[in-house]
């Protein structure tokens, strides 16, 4: 690690932004749930000032909704918003693929291959949770290898808003198998360092995931009618 890098002592509100974002993305709150300032302040042991600053930042990221004089709630993700978000993320994924193929190192590829093989095993074993982790690792390793902080930042912001969606509908066996196939192709394109192909594959991978999700959600709402 770079010892001469400037030390960054995070201020309270930064700390709170990170903690709260983590809690929201990792589903410690229900979507739409009210966020009471008082009790949160108590549990974090801070005053309302930095907490409110953090909430405003999270609101600008779209993770929280502020209603004047009525406090803040965890943002809900509507199907319409999903439909708007996925194409944007897919557009970014294409760029991720193009940049990653041009910039990724051999050791990064080796690491991804290793996680890929683990993921295939988890699929065979039907270990959803381990699968999700490996999948996550692979995608964030590719994103990092694109070496573009601006891209990374916006990708992460968008992804965190739809992350919750993966809990909304359980993935079908068919889609799961298809995803594994797609991941195989992605790894191949990565090892070939074929940017155009990798970008297309990553983009389609995401759009297919969205299509599967939409089918699952429609099924749910149909059943509810």
Partner DNA sequence: TGACCGAATAATGAATTCAAAATTAAAAAC
Partner DNA sequence: GTTTTTAATTTTGAATTCATTATTCGGTCA
Total residues in contact with DNA, by rule CB under 7 A? 20
Name the residue nearer to DNA (CB basis): 36 or 184.
36
What is the C-alpha to C-alpha distance for residues 19 and 1, in angstroms, rounded to an integer?
24
> At 27, is the secondary structure helix, strand, or coil?
coil
What is the C-alpha to C-alpha distance for residues 108 and 137, in angstroms, rounded to an integer?
12
Here's the x/- map for a second copy, 37-56, by CB under 8 A: it reads as ------------x--xx--x
By CB under 8 A, residue 150 contacts a second copy: yes
Name the residue nearer to DNA (CB basis): 46 or 95.
46
By CB under 8 A, residue 197 contacts a second copy: no
Among the listed residues 158, 31, 137, 141, the one whose alpha carbon sits nearest the alpha carbon of residue 87:
158
Scanning 38-46, 86-94, 205-213, 216-224 for contacts with a second copy by CB under 8 A, the matching segment is 86-94
Give min distance, CB of 221 to a second copy, in A. 22
What is the C-alpha to C-alpha distance for residues 168 and 165, in angstroms, rounded to an integer?
5
By CB under 8 A, residue 154 contacts a second copy: yes
Give min distance, CB of 181 to a second copy, in A. 25
Name the residue nearer to a second copy (CB basis): 91 or 171.
91
Q: Transcribe 109-137 into DSSP letters.
A: HHHHHHHHHHHHHHHHTT-HHHHHHHHHH
CB 42 within 8 A of CB 3: no
Residue 185 is encoded by which pair of tokens?
A: 């192709």
Give min distance, CB of 50 to DNA, in A. 5
What is the C-alpha to C-alpha distance for residues 71 and 186, in angstroms, rounded to an integer?
44
10 Å CB burial of residue 163 (0-12, 13-18, 19+) is middle
Scanning 35-43, 101-109, 154-162, 202-210 for contacts with DNA by CB under 7 A, the matching segment is 35-43
Binding test (CB under 8 A) with a second copy, winner from 28, 30, 76, 88: 88
10 Å CB burial of residue 112 (0-12, 13-18, 19+) is buried
By CB under 8 A, residue 102 contacts a second copy: no
Q: Which residues form the interface with a second copy (CB under 8 A)?
A: 8-11, 13, 17, 49, 52-53, 56-57, 59-62, 66, 68, 81, 84-85, 87-88, 91-92, 94-95, 99, 148-151, 153-154, 157-158
Contact set with DNA (CB under 7 A):
11-13, 34-38, 46-50, 52, 66, 68-72
């Amino acid at each position: 690690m770079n010892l001469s890098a400037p030390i960054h002592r995070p201020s309270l509100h930064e700390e709170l932004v990170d903690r709260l974002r983590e809690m929201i993305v990792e589903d410690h709150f229900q979507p739409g749930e009210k966020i009471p300032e008082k009790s949160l302040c108590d549990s974090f042991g801070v005053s309302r000032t930095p907490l409110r600053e953090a909430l405003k930042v999270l609101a600008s990221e779209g993770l929280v909704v502020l209603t004047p004089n009525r406090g803040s709630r965890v943002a809900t993700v509507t199907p319409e918003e999903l439909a708007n978000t996925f194409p944007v993320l897919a557009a970014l994924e294409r760029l991720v693929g193009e940049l990653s193929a041009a910039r990724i190192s051999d050791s990064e590829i080796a690491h991804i291959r290793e996680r890929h093989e683990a993921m295939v095993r988890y699929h065979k074993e039907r270990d959803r949770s381990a699968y999700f982790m490996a999948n996550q690792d692979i995608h964030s390793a590719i994103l990092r290898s694109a070496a573009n902080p601006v891209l990374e930042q916006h990708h992460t912001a968008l992804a965190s808003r739809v992350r919750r969606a993966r809990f909304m509908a359980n993935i079908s066996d068919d889609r799961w198998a298809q995803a594994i196939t797609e991941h195989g192709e992605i790894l191949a394109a990565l090892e070939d360092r074929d940017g155009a192909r990798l970008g297309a594959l990553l983009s389609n991978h995401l759009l297919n995931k969205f299509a599967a999700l939409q089918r699952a959600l429609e099924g749910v709402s149909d059943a509810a009618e």
